């Protein structure tokens, strides 16, 4: 069984046992988190359930494995011949979740 959930403005396909990275969620390592915005349920021999926009009563339960930051990116702006330069770095925070079960 698999599900497509929406979290952090993105859609993620998950199955039980997967470790997925999503935008930062509140919670400490080891806490349970419930993702309630399930857009699609599938994998039951062709009995896919597509939400309009959400599947009613469905949720995905997982455990927070890590709260980390991604690799550093450099944002550099420059306008030629004007002496304008701006250099800025950024590291996006994310949460790693181990999917425990999909509740239909």
| Domain segments of the chain as ranges | 2-103
Q: How many Cβ atoms from other residues are within 10 Å of residue 1's Cβ?
A: 12
Q: Answer whether 73's CB lies under 8 Å from 87's CB.
A: no
* pLDDT at position 5: 96
* pLDDT at position 54: 94
Pick from 89, 84, 102: nearest CA to 40: 102
Could you give the residue ranges of the DSSP H alpha helices within 6-73? none
Q: Is 20 helix (H, G, I), strand (E, B) or coil?
A: strand
Angstrom distances, CA of residue 23 to CA of 3, 10, 11, 40, 69: 18, 9, 11, 20, 10
Pick from 63, 52, 74, 59: nearest CA to 28: 63
* pLDDT at position 41: 94
Mean residue pLDDT across the chain? 95
pTM comes to 0.84
């Amino acid at each position: 069984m698999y599900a497509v959930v929406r979290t952090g403005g993105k859609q993620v396909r998950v199955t039980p046992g997967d470790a997925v990275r999503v935008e930062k969620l509140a919670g400490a390592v080891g806490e349970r988190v419930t993702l309630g915005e399930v857009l699609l349920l599938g994998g039951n021999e062709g009995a896919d359930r597509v939400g309009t926009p959400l599947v009613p009563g469905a949720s995905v339960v997982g455990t927070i494995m890590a709260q980390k930051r991604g690799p550093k990116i450099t944002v550099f702006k420059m306008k030629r011949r004007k002496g304008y330069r701006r250099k800025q770095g950024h590291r996006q925070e994310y949460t790693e979740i181990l999917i425990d079960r999909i509740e239909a």
